Structure 1
Amino acid sequence: MKPWGAIATWRMAHDGVLAAKELIHQQASAELACETLIKKVEDYPFYKSVGYGGLPNELGVLEMDAAFMNGDTMAFGGVASIQDIKNPISVARLLSKEKFNSFRVGEGAREFALSQGLEEKTMLTNRAKRIWEKRVEEIEEHQLDPYDGHDTVGAVTLDLNGSMVAGTSSSGLFMKKKGRVGDSPFSGSGLYVDSEIGGASATGLGEDLMKGCLSYEIVRLMGEGLSPQDACDKAVYAFDQKLKERYGKAGAMSLVALNNQGEWGVATNVEFTFSVATSTTEPTIYIAYPGPNQTTDISEVTPEWLEAYQNRITAPID
């Protein structure tokens, strides 16, 4: 059987991974599989860091980022700070077809999306607005650090023709400054893919991830012959150590990778969940932690963990 695969960051991507698997089995392209995977996450209102239901900036405005890269052609499209467009990943995919102006921001990105017939939608939900209001109250009363949450959905897909695609989508750091953009929409940082080698995608604190261009570095290491797991471990833990030594600290960073043989790898400096399905791996949600000697400990999540997760993300907001 020809190798195929789909891997994506966080538990929230699992339904998308299942959808990508079905599309790939139906001979669909890696492009369609990746876009569909990420749209599943963008459309679910209880995921607070992506698309509809995502959390807003400090002014209560939801600004979203996304990127899309084709590993056959190296074509790339990105959007940043786009507002009230239903699926930012679809905007990024369309922009990847453009020879010029393939990265658009703010109102320019929104105007492009509307010109292409993409759906306009109020993306800030009442639930997300209430979470924002509560955080504003907490900051005023207790002088708390306003920042919280930066869980990008990042995905890599491999189809039965050997084509590979990577994509990302995020509403960014909760309570971020207006116009702030993290690593997610940038080639080399948030994502990178080359169908002759493989692809990688990142989630975490964008300000620190951008300092290392880790998605590119993982693909480069795979190109030198490292397995996806070894490439992830080498890139992530070496850079985590370098940041701590030279910058004084390192924010959360987690990366997933898939090579063109359907082999996968993950590394993280925090607790991190991800979903993967390949020609040799049944669709599974895993949890990962930093392991000993710059390695990664990976195990399947338990049913109890899944139940607690679902209860937590859907709990009423006072």
Structure 2
Amino acid sequence: MKWAIIGTWRMSLEGIIAATEILKHGGDSGDAVEEAVKIVEDFPLYKSVGYGGLPNENCEVELDAAFMDGDTLSFGAVGGIRDFKNPVSIARKLSHEKFNIFLVGSGAEEYAHKNGFERKNMLTDRAKKIWEKRVKEIYEKNLSPYDGHDTVGVVCLDKKGHMTAATSTSGLFMKKRGRVGDSPICGSGLYVDSQVGGAVATGLGEDIMKGCLSYEAVRLMESGIDPQTAAEKAVFNFSEKLRQRSGKAGAISLVCINNKGEWGVGTNVEFSFVVATDDSMPKVYLAHPENGRVICEEASEEWLQEYQRKITSPV
């Protein structure tokens, strides 16, 4: 049986490299997905996820995460959780519960504490400086406060045919306290069915959740459509619907894998993602929409170096 894993954005590369080691030795997709997302959550320079994630308007880091098992359709999620490391692991723990599988705010924090998850101040000095700089820009230049909404999402198929998916994000930068986007919502930010495939989304959550796009991509695959066409149809059709109904569509990107290990990408903006399969080492790709299709190409060395320079540059 083939294995495959796909993740949103360049930031998922290190996590997918680690997950690949689990998968190629016959490990479980749930462990692989959790490990991949945890590595992104733990890296302080990825400013839209976990430790170092950008704070809300009150300078508080509120995190959302979800986990889904494609064999059982079990699902767990947390929203607006503060001061706990690795919310994806808390979400996975919740997916084993029969009731109360989606907890938010203080309820999620109480559950995490009772179940022994590690407390940690997730606000870094770097993230605080970025927040302070943004507050100043908003006041001096009358700029929109909102910027940055990149979710790490991972879908995985292991050698036994078991599929899982997970997401994690700090959400919209400068968001209102308590705001939750699509990422932890089943069917919107993620969906997976081991008999069909799985998908995860990233972008403007306020728009993505209106279309339940991850479920839509899986539904299209279930109808017999290949993953690439399913991802394109899900993103392009709904983007056009939003433009017709409200005049515009936010940034929307989606990655998916079917139960054969074939993958696809849909996006209405330029977007980076990472893929690894049993016959291909982890690689970073760039995708962009062009004439109703999505064009994908491997990221150049120059692009990768510029990415590294950008995330490590001083605030």
**TM-score (structure 1 length as normaliser):** 0.98
Paired position in structure 2 for 1:244: 243
**Aligned partner of 1:285: which letter?**
V
Paired position in structure 2 for 1:283: 282
Q: Secondary structure at the match of 1:238?
A: helix
Q: Deviation at 1:142?
A: 1.2
Paired position in structure 1 for 2:28: 29
Q: Secondary structure at the match of 2:89?
A: helix
Percent identity of paired positions between Structure 1 and Structure 2: 60
Q: Distance between the aligned counterparts of 1:9 and 1:288, measured in 2?
A: 11
The 5 Å alignment of 1:85-234 reads 85-234=84-233
Does 2:81 align with 1:79?
no
Q: Secondary structure at the match of 2:211?
A: coil
Paired position in structure 2 for 1:305: 303
Aligned residues between the structures: 315
Q: Distance between the aligned counterparts of 2:185 and 2:163, measured in 1?
A: 18
Q: Secondary structure at the match of 1:210?
A: helix
Show CA shifts across 1:293-316 (max 9, x none).
Answer: x21010000000000100100111
Show CA shifts across 1:176-197 (max 9, x none).
Answer: 0010000000000000000000
> Residue 295 of structure 1: which of 293, 296, 300 is its match?
293
Q: Distance between the aligned counterparts of 1:20 and 1:221, measured in 2?
A: 27
Show CA shifts across 1:189-232 (max 9, x none).
Answer: 00000000000000000000011001000000000111100100
Show CA shifts across 1:130-155 (max 9, x none).
Answer: 00000001111111100000000001
Q: Secondary structure at the match of 2:192?
A: strand
Q: Distance between the aligned counterparts of 1:92 and 1:28, measured in 2?
A: 20
Q: Distance between the aligned counterparts of 1:233 and 1:41, measured in 2?
A: 26
**Aligned partner of 2:266: which letter?**
A
Q: Secondary structure at the match of 1:282?
A: strand
**Aligned partner of 1:274: which letter?**
F
Is 301-310 or 22-31 further displaced after alignment?
A: 22-31
Q: Deviation at 1:288?
A: 0.3
Does 2:51 align with 1:52?
yes
Q: Secondary structure at the match of 2:280?
A: coil
Q: Distance between the aligned counterparts of 2:209 and 2:268, measured in 1?
A: 15
**Aligned partner of 2:106: which letter?**
E
**Aligned partner of 2:94: which letter?**
L
Does 2:313 align with 1:315?
yes
CA RMSD of superposed structures (Å): 0.6
Q: Deviation at 1:280?
A: 3.3
Ranges in structure 2 where 5+ consecutive residues have no aligned partner: none
Q: Secondary structure at the match of 2:76?
A: strand
Show CA shifts across 1:54-84 (max 9, x none).
Answer: 0000010000000000000000000000001
Q: Secondary structure at the match of 1:107?
A: helix
Q: Secondary structure at the match of 2:177?
A: coil
Q: Distance between the aligned counterparts of 2:93 and 2:147, measured in 1?
A: 31
Q: Deviation at 1:283?
A: 1.3
Q: Secondary structure at the match of 2:210?
A: coil
Paired position in structure 2 for 1:271: 270
Q: Deviation at 1:156?
A: 0.3
Q: Distance between the aligned counterparts of 2:179 and 2:202, measured in 1?
A: 16
> Contact conserved, 2:10 with 2:274, CA < 8 A, in 1?
yes
Is 110-119 or 90-99 further displaced after alignment?
A: 110-119
